[in-house]
Amino acid sequence: MSAAEPVGTALGTPLGTPPGTPPGTAPGGTSEARLRVLVADDQVVAVRGAVVYLTALGIDVCGTIDDPRRLVRTVDQLHPDVVLIEPVMGPKGAAWAHVDELLAAHPSAAVTVLTCELTPVAVDTALEHGCLGVLPKTCSVDALGTAIRTVAAGERYLHPRALAALLQRRQTGESHRVAKALSARELGVLARVAEGMTNAEIGADLGISADTVKTHLARTLDKLSARDRTHAVARAMRLGLLS
């Protein structure tokens, strides 16, 4: 992600907020609570892009760090609602030890991975270390906002590409056959059906038409040998395609 202009990284104050503004204060001086995110990444362009996009979504970036060794101390200081981390920063694998340390001290911390390496192993590793969210740096701004708000509420968010990557690692037997047949888009649509979303809501969430959603569902039902969308979700869950 990229930003149009340099953005400050002063810790302790939401970036882009006028000096002296109390934490949690929305633009214009109102006291409406806004979600606060700590961005942990050593890629400067990615950090600046995240700050710009999150701010545009009405989400405050309360600080940034480029060294995973500062993770726990910074969370203790800033108390963010969500920690957005690139786990490949620093020496290979080093960031995970600090994520473990953070979650040991703050078990309810909403850690979300925003990464350039969305491999099956990377997704599995993130979940094994207790992360609530996983999404690629190529995701849309809306997907980023949805992920932040979802994990802040204590719920898991897996981007469709993350879900597809995870399935590549866990498929066996019939689930292997079905998962290979289903595209990442079809899995994404099915995951949203499982959440109770309508075709129109799924289309709006994915940026496609309701008719396109209907087409994806028809293909999914055929590949799962399902009678209807409810049956498709039930079969997918039994096969381990949906959690």
- CATH for 145: 3.40.50.2300
Mean pLDDT of the chain: 84
What's the rounded Cα separation, in Å, for the pair 243 and 51?
A: 31
What percent of the chain lies above the pLDDT cut of 90?
64
Residue 140 and residue 51 share a domain? yes
Residue 132 and residue 195 share a domain? no
- Summarize the confidence of residues 153-167 as an average pLDDT: 90
Q: Is residue 92 part of a domain?
A: yes
The sign of the torsion formed by the CA atoms of 136, 142, 147, 152 equals: positive
Q: Is residue 8 part of a domain?
A: no
Q: How many residues does the chain have?
A: 243
- Summarize the confidence of residues 96-111 as an average pLDDT: 94
What's the rounded Cα separation, in Å, for the pair 122 and 112?
A: 13
Domain count, the chain: 2
Q: Is residue 116 part of a domain?
A: yes
Q: Is residue 120 part of a domain?
A: yes
The model's pLDDT over 172-188, given as tens digits with 9 standing for 90+, comes to 556 667 767 888 899 99
Residue 125 and residue 41 share a domain? yes
Q: Is residue 30 part of a domain?
A: no
Q: State the pLDDT at residue 237.
A: 86
Range of the structural domain that residue 215 is part of: 172-238
Q: Is residue 103 part of a domain?
A: yes
- Summarize the confidence of residues 151-177 as an average pLDDT: 80
Q: Is residue 27 part of a domain?
A: no
Residue 188 and residue 155 share a domain? no
The sign of the torsion formed by the CA atoms of 194, 58, 136, 154 equals: negative
Domain-terminating residue out of 115, 146, 164: 164
The model's pLDDT over 182-235, given as tens digits with 9 standing for 90+, comes to 888 999 999 999 999 999 999 999 999 999 999 999 999 999 989 999 999 988
Residue 155 and residue 46 share a domain? yes
